[in-house]
Amino acid sequence: MSFTSLPTKIQSLLFLVFLIIYLVTLMGNSLIILVTLADPMLHSPMYFFLRNLSFLEISFNLVIVPKMLRTLLAQDTTISFLGCATQMYFFFFFGVAECFLLATMAYDRYVAICSPLHYPVLMNQRTCTKLAAASWFPGFPVATVQTTWLFSFPFCTTNKVNHFFCDSPPVLRLVCADTALFEIYAIVGTILVVMIPCLLILSSYTRIAAAILKIPSAKGKHKAFSTCSSHLLVVSLFYVSSSLTYFRPKSNNSPESKKLLSLSYTIVTPMLNPIIYSLRNNEVKNALSRTFHRALGLKNHNP
């Protein structure tokens, strides 16, 4: 695993930084889940999907960060064959699920803004549950096929994964067999997994933008845009960082630069998501305030 070539002081500093980010991620996303469950004002489809996203971000972090922290703290750079396969499986599963969940959240915003009168009927609890399940499901076949296929190859004597977690490209470099067919599948699969949700998101926001432009008042436009600005920012962070990681030309894609880019969407983005939704969403801010007031036994002055 990675980071072992760095000086001990730098590794200690990285451990502290990643530990703080990890704890902020766990606490921030857990707080989003608890607040959206506890506050009746947030019992709506938008926050149902936000809870799913927060749970996904916590799970995504648990797959990667604990092992990385152990590597930095105890200099334990080893990972078992089964451990590597398991980490890769859940990395693919949660990564694919996030792509489709972000698309589902965009569709929810589209229905809310473009068909507000029909929104409660179209996005009822049963529909939301089905959409959430449909977002999580694609991760199973993608993770199962790609992980099983990759780990069925014979590996060379060199078993050093030049990365901080078991991602497909660095593990693939250790294979001693013809991997051309697998690489074609991996490229096509990645493009489909990224592009299908991306196109759905673009389609939703194109219609949302058209609907917002038709609103006569500036206040109405601002209110409509504010309901989806947090999601749009989260989508941008996720897709920009992951696209730069997997779709850059190989000539410009050194292992070290890929590690830095991987850090952004595996560690930093999950930390930023609850912060973005807390700071840019008045409903979440008010709900947090009400929850803290109730916990402290104080009178709540927020609407």
Does the pLDDT of residue 254 top 70, yes or no? Answer: no
Q: DSSP letters of 96-151?
A: HHHHHHHHHHHHHHHHHHH-TTTHHHHT-HHHHHHHHHHHHTTHHHHHHHHHHHHT
C-beta contacts of 251-258 below 8 A and 24+ residues apart: 255/162, 255/163, 255/170, 258/163, 258/169
Q: What is the pLDDT of residue 292?
A: 73
Q: DSSP letters of 68-101?
A: HHHHHHH------HHHHHHHHHHHHHHHHHHHHH
Confidence of residue 55 (pLDDT cuts 50, 70, 90): very high
Pair of tokens at residue 120: 């409660």
Q: Is residue 97 within 8 Å of residue 193, measured between CB atoms? A: no
Pair of tokens at residue 281: 């969403």
Q: Where are the alpha helices (DSSP H) in the chain?
A: 8-38, 45-74, 81-114, 119-122, 125-136, 139-150, 168-172, 180-213, 218-246, 255-263, 269-279, 282-296
Q: What is the pLDDT of residue 1?
A: 52
Does the pLDDT of residue 4 top 80, yes or no? Answer: no
The predicted-structure confidence for 186-218, as pLDDT tens digits, reads as follows 989 988 998 899 999 999 999 999 999 888 888
Instruction: Provide the percentage of residues in the chain whose pLDDT is more than 90.
Output: 46
Q: Buried (b) or exposed (e) across 127-156, using 16+ Cβ within 10 A? A: ebeebbeebbebbeebbeebbeebbeeeee
Measured from the Cβ of residue 86, the count of other Cβ atoms closer than 10 Å reads: 15
Does the pLDDT of residue 300 top 60, yes or no? Answer: no
CA distances (Å), 155 to each of 37, 81, 90, 257, in order?
47, 11, 21, 25
The predicted-structure confidence for 135-183, as pLDDT tens digits, reads as follows 999 999 999 999 999 999 998 877 788 788 898 888 998 999 999 999 9
| Gyration radius (Cα) of the chain, Å | 21
Residue 155, φ and ψ in degrees, nearest 5? -105, 150
Q: pTM for this one?
A: 0.88
Q: What is the pLDDT of residue 30?
A: 93
Q: What is the pLDDT of residue 59?
A: 94
CA distances (Å), 36 to each of 43, 115, 212, 295, in order?
7, 24, 27, 15
Higher-scoring residue by pLDDT: 248, 144: 144
Pair of tokens at residue 161: 């994964």
Q: What is the pLDDT of residue 2?
A: 59
Does the pLDDT of residue 303 top 70, yes or no? Answer: no
| Residue 299 backbone zone (phi > 0: left; psi -120 to 50: alpha; other: beta) | beta
Residue 175, φ and ψ in degrees, nearest 5? -80, 135
The predicted-structure confidence for 63-120, as pLDDT tens digits, reads as follows 999 988 888 887 777 888 899 999 999 999 999 999 999 999 999 999 999 998 999 9
Fold of 8-284: Rhopdopsin 7-helix transmembrane proteins (1.20.1070)
Q: What is the pLDDT of residue 106?
A: 94
Residue 196, φ and ψ in degrees, nearest 5? -60, -55
Q: Is residue 101 within 8 Å of residue 136, measured between CB atoms? A: yes
List the domain boundaries for the chain: 8-284
CA distances (Å), 167 to each of 111, 120, 213, in order?
36, 41, 43
